[in-house]
Structure 1
Amino acid sequence: MPWRGVFQRYVLKCPVTEAGVSRRTYTHEASLYVHWPYCLKRCSYCNFNKYIPRSVDHVLMTQSLQRETQTLLHISQVSCITSVFFGGGTPSLAQPSTIAAVLETVSKHAQFSANAEVTLEVNPTPAGKARLRDFVAAGVNRFSIGMQSLNDSSLRVLGRDHSPQEALQTLSEARTLCPGRVSVDVMFGLPDQSEDSWQSELEEVLSVCDDHVSLYQLTLERGTHLFKQVQLGEVHVPGDDVTATMYKTARNILKKAGFLQYEVSNFARNNAVSTHNIGYWKAQQYIGVGPGAHGRFVPHSLQGVLREARTQTLEPDVWIREVQQHGHATRRQIQLSHLELLEEVLVMGLRMNEGISHQHWAEFSPEANLHQVFGVSEDFQQLQQRGHLILDDGGLRCSWEGLALLDSILPMLLLRLEMFFKKPAASAATAGRTHGQRKR
């Protein structure tokens, strides 16, 4: 039976209050992240958990993903899955039947919320384009396309295995299959990229894209080929002042094009936001399946009462063996203290344009509201006076200018949070640890 038929049989609406407003059942609903670890080649800038195999046993990989999904759903006792995200690696190299099998496993052991978002990351090569229709038939209803650049020389420096024309063809096919539900990833701060060339490239992207754009500044990660090239002076990247201007320019161009910046790196029009990623930013539960995947949930079937941060075994072969032996391959699990959980609520929530509402904060911190924790701090008040932070009846959020300065604002807020919750007795937590699934 096609998975779409299964979806129609098992879909439900998550609990709602009498007023019709969704009631977040943090212990009974979650999103699902599925990591496909394989790629055809490693990009020069990438340090993600990915592998270049000689061959892939798709049957064994599918069985292992299904079994770990079933086991972790049982451990979490989650009954409602709100979204699924197939990331990597290059999940568009997986067989559509693998995607369908994982989704059917979910439908057998939990239920999907109404209009559940199912996203697949796509590498815009001819092979990726050729399978899009089959992925839709398997149950995917949203694509995230790793375009990265429409400049030939930039793609070569990044080590990408597609051309600008192939990216445009893949984007066109994806928009035909999932109109209004296609995102593109675009990078700035690339080697030899100027402010003018970046502006021209972004305007070209906006002339062909759908309703969602994700902007990422190139990060030079130690151990990558590109990092070594820059260290040796073989290639040159723009300075911090230039990349700051690039980001500001991009925000203004996207705003004029009708895109709302709803998160530091994400822009949408026609309300085409990524509900899966919003789940991360709102500190909702998520289950991570696959080699190296991360998760955050309360393990009820193990008599857990605290949310755990879980990381699955990194290496695919070892991960498969552990799943066969134990049903899952959780290599690391750490109970999050109250302070650590609030740190994640703060760090992730302030990434969003809407910030953190009083109601949302109270769900995690009923004993102390936002005004009590932050409002009396002199450093905080100075940031308010500069117009970088806003704390009002709506909650806590960054201003338009403050969102661009979030990395420099967070250390003060985290210190304030730690000082508040460690008085008079010390907590077991340490500040600054946050995790989340990363996009390619």
Structure 2
Amino acid sequence: MAFLGARARCSAAAAAKVAQRRRLAEDARGPPSPPGSQRAALYVHWPYCEKRCSYCNFNKYIPRGVDEAAVRRCLVTEAQTLLRLSGVRRVESVFFGGGTPSLASPHTVAAVLEAVAQATHLPADSEVTLEANPTSAPGSRLAAFRAAGVNRLSIGLQSLDDTELQLLGRTHSASDALQTLAEARRLFPGCVSVDLMLGLPAQQVGPWLGQLRELLRRCDDHVSLYQLSLERGTALFTQVQQGTLPAPDPELAAEMYQEGRAVLREAGFRQYEVSNFARNGALSTHNWTYWQCGQYLGVGPGAHGRFVPQGAGSHTREARIQTLEPDNWMKEVMLFGHGTRKRVPLGELELLEEVLAMGLRTDVGITHQHWQQFEPPVTLWDVFGASREVKMLLEQGLLLLDHRGLRCSWEGLAVLDSLLLDLLSQLQDTWRQRTPSPVPGG
């Protein structure tokens, strides 16, 4: 029954979905769910993979056997509990991430969506995204996910070079990737995102740009470019440390990124976030919630969330992390209704630091209206209007501060990390000057 309900919701959503995406692309004003709002996004973590990729240090597990019915019951229970605790009345998007959620049964996806729809309002045009790897997503399975209520796919292609895919520990070939992409576009036209990695050991600019151009001949309306990050504890990190692989060249990676974003711009893509590019309004509305510091609930082992637990009588936004290990998480869900392991109340300054750091990742930046939704004691003009450091960044053409708000220029987006240190420091200094110390003489 849940499966059929989700199918009806999916088929009813197509036209409204396009309109919703266009509205977001055109105005993109402020957070969809400010602190204390009754709206939120929902992230669902599926922690299992077929194998661990050589670069990955995410919270994922290679199981000997998964009792999916038990996992499904716990995902449903935790979603219901957190929706009740948060007081959320409307879920604006759902994202199934991992791990490899395309390894889960479509019935699990349908059960979670049905539980959300029963506990709160899940509009027909809500974006429901599933991360998929080419090898776990044949056409018939993708069709079943569509029937379960998924209306957007995020495909982890990573590379169109078989040697690079082997280096990354991927289980698919370039041919598998392109075949899955073609099938996904047939089933989810205009709603397929693909990931491409850059900055791999021994990778060169020319061949990588060739991959990007080949992808542009085959892809849909959303592309994400991610630079390889060598994480301690991964196989790739060990190989580089031992000298069996050359260390990635950061200057070459920077050149790939700059050249790549120029190629995407020429192809009609808008760089709406540091790593994300869309055309025809195909922005990720779920990820936009993160970047605009909206509320989101994290369900599943190791999932993160940010929301005001109004159901518990609180008025303070919290950062929440669920228990990492799946078996322990399931025990806690069965005992308490949720597996929240860590709760960190966010102070006013901490929240504004998040608003600044996340908002500047987007091409819209932080509008004055958006900033005021978090009820700060200082305006953007108060913080940055008289700053010498900011004035230098404005003169260099890296930053813009005007009647719209604060944002990076095209050039500034590419070097955001180097700008943030000064901007966060300026916010902290202004905060100390404008807000009284709780300690006498402090």
From 288, 293, 310, give the equivalent of 1:300: 310
Give the structure 2 partner of residue 94 of structure 1.
Answer: 104
**From 81, 92, 95, the counterpart of 1:85:** 95
Instruction: Indicate the larger mover: 85-94 or 186-195.
Output: 186-195
| 1:115 Cα offset (Å) | 1.1
Whether contact under 8 Å (2:380, 2:405) holds in the other structure is yes
- For 1:144, the equivalent position in structure 2 comes to 154
Counterpart of 1:380 in 2: which secondary structure? helix
- CA separation of 1:268 and 1:22: change in aligned 2, threshold 3 A: closer
Secondary structure at 1:296 match in 2: strand
Q: What's 1:64 paired with? A: 74
| Residue number in structure 1 paired with 2:363 | 353
Letter in 2 for 1:227: F
2:436 corresponds to: 425
1:55 aligns with 2:65: yes
Which of 191, 203, 215 is the equivalent residue of 1:181? 191
Contact residue 182 and residue 211 of structure 1 kept, 8 A: yes
What secondary structure sits across from 2:122 in the alignment? strand
Alignment-derived partner of residue 372 in structure 2: 362
Residue 380 (structure 1) aligned to one of 378, 383, 390: 390
Note the alpha carbon deviations across 1:263-315, whole angstroms, 9 max, x for none.
00000010100000000000000000000000000001111101000000000
Alignment partner, residue 25 of structure 2: none
Deviations 1:213-238 (A, max 9, x none): 00000000011000010111111244
Matched residue, 1:3:
5
Q: What amino acid sits opposite 1:234 in the alignment?
A: T
Q: Given that residues 31 and 293 in structure 2 are in contact (C-alpha distance below 8 angstroms), is that contact kept between their aligned partners in structure 1?
A: no
- Where do residues 265-304 of structure 1 align in structure 2 (5 Å cutoff)? 265-304=275-314
Matched residues, number: 422
Q: Give yes or no for the alignment of 1:262 onto 2:264.
A: no
**Conservation of the 8 A alpha-carbon contact between 2:10 and 2:146:** no
Looking at structure 1, the residues matched to 10 and 287 of structure 2 have their Cα atoms a distance apart, in angstroms, of: 24
Q: What is residue 396 of structure 1 aligned with on the other side?
A: 406
Give the superposition deviation at 1:4. 2.8
1: distance between equivalents of 2:103 and 2:138? 7
Output the amino acid matched with 2:76. Q
- Counterpart amino acid of 2:291? W
Partners of 1:128 and 1:8 in 2: how far apart? 20
- 2:311 paired with 1:309: no
Superimposed CA distance per residue, residues 71-98 of structure 1 (whole angstroms, 9 cap, x where no aligned partner): 0000001000000000000000000000
CA drift of 1:10 comes to: 12
Which one-letter code corresponds to 1:4 in the other structure?
A
Matched, 1:253 2:263: yes
Aligned residue for 1:111, secondary structure, equals coil
8 Å contact from structure 1 (residues 37, 316) kept in 2: yes
Task: Quote the offset at 1:3 in angstroms.
Answer: 3.0
Alpha-carbon shift at residue 367 of structure 1 (Å): 2.8
**Per-residue Cα deviation, 1:153-201 (whole angstroms, up to 9, x for no partner):** 0000000000111111111111001100000000001122101111111
Give the corresponding residue for 1:432: none
* Preserved contact between residue 6 and residue 104 of structure 1 (Cα < 8 Å): no
**SS of residue in 2 equivalent to 1:113:** coil
| 1:3 and 1:137 in contact (8 A); partners too | no
Q: Which runs of 5+ in 2 are unaligned?
A: 21-28
- The answer to whether residue 354 in structure 2 is matched with residue 344 in structure 1 is yes
Q: Which amino acid aligns with 2:263?
A: I
Give the Cα–Cα distance (whole angstroms) in 2 for the partners of residues 193 and 339 of structure 1. Answer: 41
Between the aligned partners of 1:302 and 1:136, the Cα distance in structure 2 is 36
Change (3 A) 1:62 1:377: same
Contact 2:10 2:150 in 1 (8 A): no
8 Å contact from structure 1 (residues 187, 216) kept in 2: yes
In the alignment, is residue 223 of structure 1 matched against residue 233 of structure 2? Answer: yes
- Paired letter, 1:425: P
- Between the aligned partners of 2:289 and 2:418, the Cα distance in structure 1 is 24
Distance 1:248 1:78 in 2: 40
Q: Partner of 2:123: helix, strand, or coil?
A: strand
Partner of 1:29: 39
Whole-angstrom CA distance in 1 between matches of 2:322 and 2:115: 19
Give the aligned CA root-mean-square deviation in angstroms: 2.1
The CA distance in 1 between the partners of 2:137 and 2:317, in whole Å, is 40
C-alpha separation in 1, matches of 2:136 and 2:351: 43
| CA offset digits 1:67-124 (Å, max 9, x no partner) | 0000000000100000000000000000000000000000010011351000000011
Counterparts in 2 of 1:96-135, with a 5 A limit? 96-125=106-135, 127-135=137-145
Identity rate of aligned residues, in percent? 56
Q: Distance in 2 between matches of 1:127 and 1:179?
A: 16
Name the CA distance, whole Å, in 2 between partners of 1:178 and 1:79.
Answer: 28
> 2:203 aligned with 1:193, yes or no?
yes
C-alpha separation between the residues in 1 aligned to 2:401 and 2:82? 38
- Per the normalisation by structure 1, the TM-score is 0.92
Counterpart-to-counterpart distance in 1, 2:30 and 2:271? 24
